Structure 1
Amino acid sequence: MTAASPNNIPDIADLLAFYASVGVDEALEDQPVNRFAEVAPKPMERAAASSGDIAAPQRSTNMSRPEPSDRSSAPPVARPTSATVPDEAQAALARQLATTATTLDELRQHMAAFEGCNLKATAKSLVFADGNPDAAVMLVGEAPGRDEDIEGLPFVGRSGRLLDRMLAAIGLDRTSVYIANVIPWRPPGNRTPTPHETEICRPFIERQIELVNPKVLIN
């Protein structure tokens, strides 16, 4: 085997740019994982091996990912067990939940409990709204990005700073407007939401607009 030439080693900036372009912009684990570590046998396997029923498992020769040894000490993270494919039944449920919400707080609770949108499975936060719900001006964006997903607020990244400057230019700020998104969960890699995802979330934003009842709506 020939040694790799230093010229063939990719630059770290190029690697990071590639990962960001395909949506890999966050670590999956808080602790590093040693993928070459020997996987300890499970208690049942150890008991069976000691009784002679089966042979003790040998060190794996494949590259399967072992479980980190300290995972049991990490707090569990609530996540949907699987992504939900948007369908008419989920859209009907979203419409029902949105209709029964009589306040913005109730609407937010319904959206937080709703499992019918596949985007919730990959997002960190429900990005509900920011600003003053009694404002005369309401702004509605498309979907949250990475910064919004982390902070749980709409328009806090680069586009948010631009929005703040635009509002300041006309004598407004976030205390005098109300800001929300059509899609409350970040699409992976900041991709454009699909028509199905938009249709699933449409009843929520429509009800949100009805409850705020702004004089001016900017979309």
Structure 2
Amino acid sequence: MTMHTEKKPLPVSPFIFAAAVLGFSALYVQMHLAIFLLVLMLMFGLGLYASFRALKFFRYSFDGAQAGWSWALIALLTVSWSAWFYVPTTSLAEHVDVWVFQSHYQHEVAKIGSNLPGNCKKTDDCYADDGKPVYVYFPYALHVPFSDHHGILYIADPEHAPEQARLDKIGGMMKCEDQPLLKHFYACFITGYAG
């Protein structure tokens, strides 16, 4: 008597979850807090569903012709879950943000023109000083209460590193990375605001 094993179709949800994690990890800094929390919940649900589908596939395919796919799906999910928890703590999103939106930031700086810091108005859109070369800080939309407020600092002259005295005029207790993310752009954060 021979056993007939049904060939299970490869689940698509682990691949969708992996792609969603990649997009989330690169773009989450531009989300507002409510959207960020909603996306987190949706991603968690998608991850659970993808894990369930992959484990179900693994159960029926771990010793057959599709065994390689079973192990590949488990590895993909492991990497995806790890990235979902780990990547938001790295600067990947800041690098992607500057690369994708650099022309937008430069356009905004050009619009501010010679009336600095008046046109920036210290709103949620930007903060600027009146020094030379100009410093313009663009805070990210995502701001969890009681946490640092992260964003991008634009320095018109890429030869100058951020000077702490000028950063303090933009936002109290402002710190920037030593190395630029890209020419003109630094990753910075504010833990308090100048009064």
| TM more than 0.5 | no
Which TM-score applies when normalising by structure 1?
Answer: 0.26
Q: Identify, as 1 or 2, the structure richer in helix.
A: 2
Greater RCO structure (CA 8 Å; 6+ sep) = 1
Which TM-score applies when normalising by structure 2?
Answer: 0.28
Q: Identify, as 1 or 2, the structure richer in strand.
A: 2
